[in-house]
Amino acid sequence: MEILQGFVDAVVGIFNSSGLTTLNWQNYVMIGISIVLLYLAIKKQYEPLLLLPIAFGMLLVNLYPSIMSAPSTEMIPLADYVKDHTGAIQYPIIKGLNGAEYVEYPTTYGGLLWYLYQGVKLGIYPPLIFLGIGCMTDFGPLISNPKSLILGAAAQIGIFVTFTGAIFLGFTAAEAGAIGIIGGADGPTAIFVTTKLAPHLLGSIAIAAYSYMALVPIIQPPIMKALTTKKERAVVMEQLRPVSKLEKIMFPVIVVIIIAIFLPDAAPLVGMLMLGNLFKESGVVERINKTAQNELMNIITIFLGTTVGATASGQTFLTFATIKIIVLGLIAFCLGTAFGVLFGKIMYLATGGKVNPLIGSAGVSAVPMAARVSQKVGQQENPGNFLLMHAMGPNVAGVIGSAVAAGVLLNVVG
């Protein structure tokens, strides 16, 4: 009889601790959303390198919320701790207001993803992602055609327009800054800014940012076609001039000096981006260059994506604020594309029709997808047109531009 009772108690205990009793409807909705995102990442291949770990992190935290739980501690008077423990004191000693000393003794340890999340919270992972991006980026098209920097800057206007709109909708200035940065179409920058300004919105903003990055081929073409004429889309641009090795080496050094002096808040992102690019262009640290753009970036991508996804628990994600963030993020991205194209039209007029306005849409920071969209839309009007390298100028300028916009927001509302 006792054996049977023990078995029943064990079964009841397992049931009471299972998700059947601890999860609520929000968790189940988020599990469904995570499965949809996994489908988009695997079947549709929408930005799979990041969407897949984000979706799986979301799945994990809604199945097992404790995987993101923070550790808890108890403050034990030093004398009491010494009575019960022998050997060296392994835990921090804290001095209280009355001068008494306490040992910060852990009562529970944090979940696995909580510890990995500290790299996001402390602003470590996004700059390391930028390091890898720098190793893979060719700034040659931008150096060859410096005017494309204007298009990269123009595409960031959507960030500040949306920032203003978010404030009118009731968000704080810090929250509005984090929401507006979605318009840069740069996931690591959005995460970096959000962890500084509005960490409680991280899940919503990160998922919105990466979703719109993945949907660039769907969102951008209608905007590009609506704002340009057939004649403008068919413009064939002159071949870019060759860029010397010395120019490519000098560029990252000059850029980081200028930005770090005038906008130090952007230095962590731009500094790592330019360091990675210097690894690539110098040609003397090939081992480091390969490690930064492959092993290091892959590891950081896993940690970043999974832990960001794990911030999207049902209780924090399924709110009216999230809906507003997703809508505002879409508006920011659409405005960024539109302003890039409109400034492209201005350059088209100013140069007597030598600039194809379509390359302005690549001013958002989704590298190289936005540049490929410019190429695709241009070839639909003129099959012999090759805009890819011309569009890469605004595209890589957009990477710098989004980091600079992040620095401005951190400086103004941080």
* pLDDT tens-digit series, residues 340-370: 999 999 999 999 999 999 999 999 888 888 9
Pick the range with the lowest mean pLDDT from 66-80, 83-97, 395-409: 83-97
Listed in sequence order, the residues at least 6 apart from 87 whose beta carbon sits closer than 8 Å to its beta carbon are: none
Q: Taking each helix axis from N to C terminus, what angle separates 297-309 and 48-63, rounded to the nearest 10 degrees?
A: 40
Cβ atoms of residues 390 and 356 within 8 Å: yes
What per-residue confidence (pLDDT) applies to 107? 79
Burial of 159 (0-12, 13-18, 19+ CB in 10 A): buried
Identity of residue 188: P
Token look-up 């009491």 returns 80
Cβ atoms of residues 277 and 252 within 8 Å: yes
Closest CA to 325 of 180, 126, 199: 180
Please give the average per-residue pLDDT across 114-136, as a whole number: 93
Pick the range with the lowest mean pLDDT from 77-81, 110-114, 180-184, 188-192: 77-81
Token look-up 């005017």 returns 147
14 or 257: which leads in pLDDT: 257
Please give the average per-residue pLDDT across 102-129, as a whole number: 89
Whole-angstrom Cα distance, residue 8 to residue 23?
22
Listed in sequence order, the residues at least 6 apart from 269 whose beta carbon sits closer than 8 Å to its beta carbon are: 126, 127, 130, 188, 189, 192, 403, 406, 407
The dihedral region occupied by 130, where left means phi > 0, alpha psi between -120 and 50, and beta the remainder, is alpha
On the question of pLDDT at 15 being above 60, the answer is no
User: Would you state the structure tokens that stand for residue 91, as one six-digit string?
Assistant: 């835990």
Going by pLDDT thresholds of 50, 70 and 90, the confidence category of residue 14 is: low
Q: What percent of the chain has pLDDT over 70?
A: 95
As a whole number, the mean pLDDT across the chain is 89
Whole-angstrom Cα distance, residue 221 to residue 225?
6
Listed in sequence order, the residues at least 6 apart from 316 whose beta carbon sits closer than 8 Å to its beta carbon are: 200, 203
What per-residue confidence (pLDDT) applies to 240? 87
What per-residue confidence (pLDDT) applies to 197? 93
Whole-angstrom Cα distance, residue 129 to residue 138?
16
The per-residue pLDDT for range 274-305, each reduced to its tens digit, is 999 999 999 999 999 999 999 999 999 999 99
Cβ atoms of residues 126 and 191 within 8 Å: yes
- SS3 of residue 108 by DSSP: strand
Model pTM score: 0.86
User: Would you state the structure tokens that stand for residue 198, as one six-digit string?
Assistant: 């509005």
